[in-house]
Amino acid sequence: MNERILGVVLAGGLATRMGGADKGLLPLGQRVILDEVLSRLEPQVDAMVINANGDPGRFRRFDLPCIQDSMEGYLGPLAGVLAALEYAREHDYDWVASVAADTPFFPKNFVDQARLQATSKQAPVVLASSFDRDKSKWMRHPTFGLWHPSLIDDLRQALIGGVRKIVMWTDSVGGSDVRFEHPSLELDPFYNVNTPEDLVIAQQEIR
């Protein structure tokens, strides 16, 4: 039986370096960043949701369920993952694939490769990684992960206990990572828009 995978776009960041605006709603080419993210994620999963706090109306035009964190207070992306895992369990999905709302060029085989790694390593969570040329080492991208709903109780307790760093927690539960190569002359596939300067580069890339 084929496993069902729920895709979640983590859009709950505070975006302080972008003046508090939703980064996913910033213009990119003829659309907005979130349009690009969703178009890459949709073929890789069985259904999609957006995780965001505050007024869900700002995402209405995407015609997707908008789920809020199930724990109070801004607890970071792990709280968004928890909300998606709870949604997945309620709606009979076998895995959750998380992506960031400000990262429009992520690999089109991200979910497939993460699922293969999860099977190979018998890991309940797999994070994406790419090679950072400036630091000359592989770097994990914690908001890009494949998560199993069996993690729900452990994750909730970790959040209650004050854990906020994704990698710290995924390492503690036997997580793995999957590496994505990229040509040396191109942007990192997990390039994200954090600042106005980053947006200019993304605009050049989309053209």
Secondary-structure percent of the chain, ordered helix, strand, coil, rounded to 5: 40, 25, 40
Based on the number of CB atoms within 10 Å of its own CB, is 205 exposed (0-12), middle (13-18) or buried (19 or more)? middle
Burial of 148 (0-12, 13-18, 19+ CB in 10 A): middle
Residue 16 has a pLDDT of 43
Taking residues 24-49, what's their average pLDDT? 96
**What value does the mean pLDDT take over residues 75-82?**
94
- 114 and 146 Cβ atoms separated by less than 8 Å: yes
Instruction: Give yes or no for residue 17 having a pLDDT over 50.
Output: no
The type of residue at 30 is Q
Q: Please give the average per-residue pLDDT across 60-72, as a whole number.
A: 93
**pLDDT tens string 52-61:** 988 889 999 9
Q: What is the largest CA-CA distance in the chain?
A: 46
- Cα 121 to Cα 23: distance, rounded to the nearest angstrom: 34
pLDDT band at 187 (very low <50, low <70, confident <90, very high): confident
In angstroms, the Cα distances linking 159 to 28, 38, 128 are 34, 28, 22
Class of domain 5-206: alpha beta
